[in-house]
């Protein structure tokens, strides 16, 4: 189990990735994203999760440069948007993201959504970027078991990470087991279900028992499941609080109680029907 915010999991290619990062979805480019990323880094976060779709890569890059932390001590993830899927368009979109971030390499590049018929071609470009050393690890988001099986069947390199919606209302049991078995690291997006879980009576009761907040209980539950988590906040105190999850341990009974809250319900789109941008 990780014991502090800087602890990392080892991806199947040997690259180390922090167990916890800061998400920046719906954070406005400019001052808002600069302040939130700088607050994260100032308080010990080393991993930042953005995407070309979030339109804040420039601010993320500025915050990285102003943070005073050496680039190699940070782990920066961005994502390829749906409209850019395809071999040549992926190579181009990668350069655009890197330019916006002001970086000369990425730590992790992810396909944002599977779509229907272009992810294999897109993956070939990801493999090429990886082989060229432009990115230290490559992965996918929102891939269901069937997408992964299909991709792995023809891929030269297996994705190192699958970032999916994951929280107590969407426990993704089958997908988590599949990824563990394949050596693909699962990463939770919307771990707090975008704030919709914070008044759940069972989570409140468990939080009270450990003298923690509901957010901290959920984030700890992610880690105890071996899942990377990237909560988003633009508020410094919440950014700090969300990272204070390394000083307690949920009992197996409480882990099961939280697992039992599953409703297979999502805050975001379903990967099989998400067609925006394709
Ligand atoms: N790959 C994908 O398709 C995908 C999709 C969605 C998200 N993501 C990634 O996952 C990250 C996290 O997901 P998310 O941003 O959708 O949702 P989230 O992290 O589950 O929740 C964020 C919301 O919770 C609030 N919040 C955060 N910490 C809190 C706390 N301690 N107490 C009370 N409220 C708190 C935030 O408000 P304040 O900011 O006001 O504190 C914000 O409204 C994203 O930022 C993004 O990087 C990826």
* pLDDT value at residue 272: 96
- For ligand 1, atom 4, which residue shows the shortest CA distance? 189
* pLDDT value at residue 270: 97
Is ligand 1 within 6 A of the CB of residue 55?
Answer: no
Is ligand 1 within 6 A of the CB of residue 241?
Answer: yes
Q: Which two tokens stand for residue 96?
A: 């655009």
How many angstroms is it from 236 CA to the middle of ligand 1? 14
Cα distances (Å, whole numbers) of residue 12 to 16, 65, 180: 9, 29, 11
Is ligand 1 within 6 A of the CB of residue 57?
Answer: no
Is 87 tagged catalytic?
no
The closest-lying atom of ligand 1 relative to the alpha carbon of residue 25 is: 45
Percent helix, percent strand, percent coil in the chain, to nearest 5 = 45, 15, 40
pLDDT in tens, the chain (278 residues): 899 999 999 999 999 999 999 999 999 999 999 999 999 999 999 999 999 999 999 999 999 999 999 999 999 999 999 999 999 999 999 999 999 999 999 999 999 999 999 999 999 999 999 999 999 999 999 999 999 999 999 999 999 999 999 999 999 999 999 999 999 999 999 999 999 999 999 999 999 999 999 999 999 999 999 999 999 999 999 999 999 999 999 999 999 999 999 999 999 999 999 999 99
Is ligand 1 within 6 A of the CB of residue 210?
Answer: no
In degrees and rounded to multiples of 5, residue 185 shows phi and psi of: -75, 125
Task: Determine contact, residues 109/129, Cβ cutoff 8 Å.
Answer: yes
Pocket test for ligand 1, best of 53, 119, 192 (most atoms within 8 A of CB): 192
DSSP at 20: B
């Amino acid at each position: 189990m990780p014991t502090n915010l800087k602890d990392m999991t080892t991806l199947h290619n040997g690259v180390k990735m922090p167990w916890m990062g800061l998400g920046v979805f719906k954070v406005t480019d400019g001052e808002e994203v600069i302040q939130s990323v700088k607050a994260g880094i100032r308080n010990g976060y080393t991993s930042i999760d953005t995407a070309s779709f979030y339109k804040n890569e420039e601010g993320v890059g500025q915050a990285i440069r102003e943070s005073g932390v050496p680039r190699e001590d940070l782990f920066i993830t961005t994502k390829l948007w749906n409209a850019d899927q395809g071999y040549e368009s992926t190579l181009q979109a990668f350069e655009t993201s890197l330019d916006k971030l002001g970086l000369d390499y990425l730590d992790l590049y992810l396909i944002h959504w599977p779509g229907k018929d272009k992810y294999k071609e897109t993956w070939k470009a990801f493999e090429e970027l990886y082989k060229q050393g432009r990115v230290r690890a490559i992965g996918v988001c929102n891939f269901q078991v069937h997408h992964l099986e299909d991709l792995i069947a023809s891929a030269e390199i297996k994705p190192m990470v699958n970032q999916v919606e994951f929280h107590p209302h969407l426990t993704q049991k089958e997908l988590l087991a599949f990824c563990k078995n394949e050596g693909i690291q699962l990463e939770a997006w919307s771990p707090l279900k975008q704030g919709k879980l914070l008044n759940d009576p069972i989570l409140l009761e468990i939080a009270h028992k450990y003298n923690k907040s509901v957010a901290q209980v959920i984030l700890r539950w992610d880690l105890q499941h071996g899942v990377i988590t990237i909560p988003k906040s633009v508020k410094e105190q919440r950014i700090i609080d969300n990272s204070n999850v390394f000083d307690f341990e949920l009992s197996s009974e409480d882990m099961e109680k939280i697992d039992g809250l599953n409703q297979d319900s999502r805050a975001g789109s379903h990967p099989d029907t998400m067609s925006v941008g394709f």
